[in-house]
Amino acid sequence: MSRKEFITANTQVFCVIGYPIEHSMSSIMHNVAINELNLDCVYLAFKIHPKNLKFAVKGFRAFDIKGINVTMPFKQKIMVYLDEIEPLAQRIGAINTIKNDKGHLIGRNTDGEGALKSILDAGYSISGKNILLLGAGGGGRTLAFILAEYANKMVITNRTEKKAIKLANDIKKYYNINVEGKSNSFNVLKDESKGADILINTTPIGMYPNIEESPIPDKFLHDGLIVFDIVYNPLKTKLMKEAAKIGCKVLGGLDMLINQGVLAFEWWTGKTPNNQLMKAKIMEYLRLK
C-alpha cells in the first residue's frame, strides 16, 4: 500500500456542488481517475442549499478546496462570487468548473466542449442543421453558444418564454444565425419539431428519480431526428427510449459528462485521466442500482 492511499492533512480536496446532488456521478469518475494516477487527492459531493451558496464559496477559500464542479442550480448564480471568469464562460453566462489558485477562484465552462466532442465522436454533423433546443438554463445557454457557430437555425424553448428570448438575443450579439426563443408550449413543440434535424434536451426532465417523464410528447418525434439528451442518470431516458423506437438516432449525456470531467481534471491537476475507465466505473455503478 502506498502512502497516497491514505487521506491525510496533505490530501488535496476536489468537489462538486449542487441542489440536489444525489444524482451526480462526478465523485465516482473522478475518484477512480485519481486512484489510477496515484494522486494524493479526494473528490467529494456537497449538497448546498441555494441560500448558502455565498458561504460555500467562502468555504472553498477557507478550506483550500483545489477544484470545484458546479451543477444545477448554481451554474449562473455562482459567477458573481468568483474572482475571474474565462472569456467563453463570460459570454455564455454560466460556468461548471472552478479552479482555486491560491484563493483566487477562476470560473470556466467545460460543458460545451464536452458536449460538442460527444456529438462529433458519435459521428453526427452539426454544420448547417436546424436545432430545437429544450431549456434555457445553464446547460441550455452553454450548448446554444457552442452550437450557434455551426448550426443553420436554432429554436430555443423554455418554460419561461422571456428566458428563451433573452438567450436568443444574447446569441445574436456574437453569431450570425437564425435563432428564436419561444415557450415550451404544446403547439410550439409540435410545430418546431417538424423542421428540426437535431433535438437537444438540456432540462432535468427525465432525470433520476423522475425517470418516467419526458420533455416532449413522443408523437412529435420523427425518424429524421438526432435526439441528444444531456441527462446521464438514467443512461437511457424515457425520451431516448421513445426516440429509438421511432427510428431516431439517439445520444445520451454520459459521454458529455466524461468529456467535461476530463477537461476539468486536466485543468486542476495537469494530468490526463483515463476516460474509458471513468465511463466504465459509472456504468458499473448504474447497473447496481
Residues assigned a catalytic role = 75
DSSP type of residue 233: S
Read off the C-alpha cell for 149.
Answer: 457557430
Q: Which residues pair with 157 in a beta bridge?
A: 134, 182
- 65, 100 Cβ separation under 8 angstroms: yes
Q: How far apart are the C-alpha atoms of 92 and 87, rounded to whole Å?
A: 9
Rg of the chain on CA atoms, in Å: 19
DSSP type of residue 77: G
Q: Which residues pair with 85 in a beta bridge?
A: 107
- 46, 56 Cβ separation under 8 angstroms: yes
Q: Is the backbone peptide bond immediately before 215 cis, with ω within 30 degrees of 0?
A: no
Read off the C-alpha cell for 155.
Answer: 429554436
Consecutive H or E run containing 104: strand 104-108
The number of residues in the chain equals 289
In Å, how far from its chain's centre is CA 236?
16
Look-up of cell digits 423554455: 158
| CB-count burial class (<10 Å; 0-12, 13-18, 19+) for 102 | exposed
